[in-house]
Amino acid sequence: MILDLPSKDVKSPITITSRTRWSALFSDEVLKESKNLIDYYSKTKKYIETQREDLTEIRTFVIDDADSEENDDAISVEKVNNEISLWIHIADPASLISQDSLIDQEARTRATSLYLPEKSITMLPHDLVTKVLNLKQGRVTPALSFNVILTDEGEIRRSRICQSLIKPTYSLSYEEADELIELSPSEDWQLAKLSKVLTNRSNLRHKNGSISIEQTEGRFKSSDNKITIRFITPTPSRKLISEAMILLGHIAAKYALNNKIPLIYRSQAQKYRRNNGSFDQSLNETRVNNLLLMEGFSRALYSTKANEHYSLGLECYAHLSSPIRRYIDLINHRQIIGHLRSNQIYNTIELEDLIKQVDIRINEANKLTRSSNRHCLVKWFQTRDDSVVEAVFLKWLNKSNKVALVYIASLEMNISMILEQADSINIGQHLKLKLTRSCLADQSLHFTVKKS
């Protein structure tokens, strides 16, 4: 779904990011250090000359969006002694990027890669990611690998972590992986088996209290004066990868606890909140139910204490799946690898200070992302010929100022707006809304309820 847009722009998010740490340009000094690392690795291969387990003969799958350039995870499965041995491999930038190097300082300042409709802005220099760090089909690459044997019920029977060498056999889009899972050809049985094993794991977490929010999400992409809406649906391959990353986060957290390794954990306390809105019980609206579930979640936090993660149904959990994209993951990799090499990198006090620094940047990144998406949303409505949309009312954000949250199915998005002539509507009620005013400068949208 592509829409041509006029060239006029107001306070473009690209201009906004140029005034932040997420400028697409790295300094000359950082780029020079990056080039030196690339040259050093390509000429000497010293990066891989550590004690690593050779897993290059195992059939390994990289699954990601077709346009992704930061491929930092892969999966494998073997049959060993009548057991299914699952491998989860994560790229290993921690073994190449030195602590407090110029690249490390820049990554710490950015804290995360930024994914905007207009462009992606990487946490690490682009060439370093694509030429050395990411997991690419047919290329021997260092990794941090997590091996786990699960019971038929999804319990962890045993697990281990090692530094490895892998050679991805396939690099697949989610659509291609879904096809392999569905067809399950005898020569490529691995993904279908992985999907079944990890579904059992997901079911176990659900029995332990996890809460899964599954819904299609619309995402804007802006390029060449056009806006595209892409719909992300929780397909079998997306669920497989998500469950694998949750599993490795749990394995790493337990490993750190058992070995007394200081780590940055991700936790979420249980929270109860009563919804006082009027709700039409006759409606069966997934978006409404999901919103009510999410309002019962407290905010997930980084901490050096291993508290439970309520919505995941886990007693402990940590982020380690994206060290190319998230600085917290890079820190945690250093801690795990340090222990494997009998060399602690950070103490608890240092980790707590890093959490404070990174949290500030993540909040800034989230604000930039929301602003950029909102910018595209307003432009989308400004260029539509049909200004009437079908929506589901979710809740009042500020009733006195007529600010409402509604779900628009054609976009697969929950959207805040000024909603006129809507004093007596119920949560879950279907509406036809007519756009009356939009403004790029303040990113506002004004609608009225269209009478039947």
pLDDT of residue 1: 34
In the chain, the percentage of residues whose pLDDT exceeds 90 is 70
Q: For the whole model, what pTM was predicted? A: 0.91
Return the half-sphere exposure (C-beta side, CA atoms, 13 A cut-off) of residue 141: 28
State how far the Cα of 303 lies from the Cα of 286, in Å rounded to an integer.
Answer: 32
Cα(342)–Cα(94) distance, integer angstroms: 15
pLDDT of 350 over the 80 cut: yes
> Closest Cα to residue 111, out of 299, 323, 333, 261?
323
Taking a C-beta distance cutoff of 8 angstroms, is the pair 72, 134 a contact? yes
pLDDT per position as a tens digit, 351-386: 999 999 999 999 999 999 999 999 999 999 988 877
22-42 pLDDT, tens per residue?
776 899 999 999 999 999 888
Structural domains in the chain plus CATH codes: 2-264+304-378 (no CATH), 384-449 (2.40.50.140)
Asked if residue 430 lies in contact with residue 449, where contact means CB atoms within 8 angstroms, the answer is no
* Mean pLDDT to the nearest integer, 77-99: 93
**Span 229-246, pLDDT tens digits:** 999 999 999 999 999 999
Residue 187, pLDDT above cutoff 80: yes
